Amino acid sequence: MRLSLRYLGIAVTLLSVAVSSASAQSRYTRGPEAEAAYRAGLEHFGQENWEAALAAFSAAVQADDTDTEALVGRGDSLRELEDYSNAQQSYMSALLINDQLARAHYGQGVCFRESGDINSAFASFNNAADIDRNDPEIAADLGGLLVNSTEDVISAMRYLDMAIELDPANAIAFRNRAIAHARLGEADEAIADLEKAIEVDPTDYEAHDTLARIQIAEEEFELAIDAYAKAIEVYEPEESSDPSLFLNGYLERAGVALLLAVENDTSAERRQELYDMVITDTEKVLEEYPDRMPESGYAFYRQGQALRLQKRYGEAIKTFTEAIQMVPGGRDGPYIADAYLKRGICWHYQGQDSLARPDFEQAASIRFEDPLPHLWLGYSYAQEEDYWQAIENYGDAIAKTPAFALAHVNRGLAYMQLGEYKKAVDNFNEAIRHEPTNPEHYYKRGIAHLKREEFQKALDSYDLAILYDESSAKAHRGAAVALRGLDRDSLAVQHENLARELDQ
């Protein structure tokens, strides 16, 4: 978002210029024509008529090229017209006359920031703040630059506190302070600041967007969906090159809907509503911008995710393919590895593992450190009963992420299929080490111990499975088998009866 004088409101802008003008008048008096031109510049600037303001301030400068306030006004007008080079020259002309002009240093800082020269922007904003510690716009922009461009959150907070104290109607200062709170792990304070920003300016779509992001971090997905809905509603393009729709809002809302849909406590009815939301949001993006990268590619990718989760594998394959084809040749889009991985998963569930594996391998080559493509390669070989190859791929996944319990479990299951029960136990133990509260790991280890006729170890495994999940009928049945192996038939009967009750 391009920030400027305008975001503090016309009243504050006029006030700051008028105060500087009054100070200037104590030093000299303009001629009638210069005064008229300068006053016209103020009026046009306050009405956001940038071209007219530029012409008026330029006329004032032409009448008196030592008029620093007119030079600053001309710089501000050029800055609003995004003519940063000429704006800089106007500010510099003023500073050569008087290097204590806070507004000229500030204007330079904005030009540097918008041109991408962050270090020079810091220097200029700091100069401005040293000269005038009571200008809320200077404090707000310096705080905003600190919080968004550095790790110095504490200093950012200090300037933003000052800006808000000087101007409680500065929505962007509240938003930036919320970001600072979020980076300090203060979610409640961040949300409170964003709510205040929205109260001050309900049309600030970035405040709604930031609120949604913080709510996602807090796993408040329903609230995040609502915040994105508001951001989409109030969004208006700021530049002619900006999209007419808040594309990221639609795409991020679709992403949150997917997160919520896969939560265990989401009802089937709500889950379907969320999938429908994903389809609707992504179609909206594609209808307006079918070929815009990366947004259109993301839209296909999100849509493919929703279709895959509904087990509409054929449609998902087509959509993931469209997402992949959106990426120009020789380039890796930000979603491309996931698109290959998930298309491969769809092929796998259709039983087409010879098609799935190249997609998994492509995903692995793009995202080298990701264990998931190797895990799915293991699944594909296991499905074809090539367990030794599956074990090799599970090992590759473990090499990427040694604490990846799921890979240890599946390698253990592959060893079970090969009759290598001791190796299976070792792998289940690794899974337990990384996920010690997961009852499934103990249950599977119990099976391996039974195969080795290690009945006491099997019983210990099933007992732990039951401790973590008392409702596990299969764990009670496994315990019964182990108990019979230990000639403890009466206790085995108790577990068998419990298993029958749990099955009912």
Instruction: Print pLDDT tens along the chain (504 aa).
Output: 333 333 333 333 332 333 343 333 334 578 889 999 999 999 999 999 999 999 999 999 999 999 999 999 999 999 999 999 999 999 999 999 999 999 999 999 999 999 999 999 999 999 999 999 999 999 999 999 999 998 899 999 999 999 999 999 999 999 999 999 999 999 999 999 999 999 999 999 999 999 999 999 999 999 999 999 999 999 999 888 899 999 999 999 999 999 999 999 999 999 999 999 999 999 999 999 999 989 999 999 999 999 999 999 999 999 999 999 998 876 777 899 999 999 999 999 999 999 999 999 999 999 999 999 999 999 999 999 999 999 999 999 999 999 999 999 999 999 999 999 999 999 999 999 999 999 999 999 999 999 999 999 999 999 999 999 999 999 999 999 999 999 999 999 999 999 999 998
CB 77 within 8 A of CB 57: yes
What's the maximum distance between 2 C-alpha atoms anywhere in the chain?
113
Terminal Cα distance for the chain, rounded: 60
Task: Residue 485: count other Cβ atoms within 10 Å of its Cβ.
Answer: 17
User: For residues 141 and 113, what is the distance between their CA atoms, to the nearest angstrom?
Assistant: 10
* Burial profile 59-91: b = 16 or more Cβ within 10 angstroms, e = fewer: bbbebbeebbbbbbbbbbbbbbeebbebbbebb
Closest CA to 429 of 448, 456, 454, 414: 448
pLDDT value, residue 350: 97
DSSP assignment letter at 5: G
Residues 6+ apart with CB under 8 A from 390: 378, 379, 381, 382, 410, 411, 414
pLDDT value, residue 333: 73
CB 306 within 8 A of CB 298: no
C-alpha pair distances (Å), 111 with each of 78, 118, 131: 10, 10, 19
Residues for the chain: how many in total? 504
DSSP assignment letter at 190: H
Domains along the chain with CATH numbers: 437-504 (1.25.40.10)
User: For residues 454 and 494, what is the distance between their CA atoms, to the nearest angstrom?
Assistant: 21
User: For residues 76 and 13, what is the distance between their CA atoms, to the nearest angstrom?
Assistant: 11
> Token pair for residue 43?
């009026």
pLDDT value, residue 206: 96
User: For residues 442 and 462, what is the distance between their CA atoms, to the nearest angstrom?
Assistant: 6
User: For residues 126 and 104, what is the distance between their CA atoms, to the nearest angstrom?
Assistant: 12
DSSP letter for each residue of 354-407 = HHHHHHHHHHHHHSTT-SHHHHHHHHHHHHTT-HHHHHHHHHHHHHH-TT-HHH
Cβ burial, residue 26 (10 Å; 0-12/13-18/19+): exposed
Task: Residue 32: count other Cβ atoms within 10 Å of its Cβ.
Answer: 9
User: For residues 190 and 227, what is the distance between their CA atoms, to the nearest angstrom?
Assistant: 14
pLDDT value, residue 14: 30
Residue identified by tokens 């993006």 is: 285
Q: How many helices (H) and strands (E) does the chain have?
A: 27, 0
Closest CA to 466 of 430, 489, 485, 491: 491
CB 227 within 8 A of CB 210: no
CB 87 within 8 A of CB 53: no
Q: pTM of the full predicted structure?
A: 0.83
H helix runs in 167-220, sequence order: 171-183, 187-200, 205-217
Cβ burial, residue 422 (10 Å; 0-12/13-18/19+): exposed
Closest CA to 376 of 403, 355, 397: 397
Q: Is the peptide bond before 294 cis (omega within 30 degrees of 0)?
A: yes
> Token pair for residue 400?
């990427």
User: For residues 191 and 174, what is the distance between their CA atoms, to the nearest angstrom?
Assistant: 10
User: For residues 96 and 383, what is the distance between their CA atoms, to the nearest angstrom?
Assistant: 77
Task: Report the SS3 class of residue 454.
Answer: coil
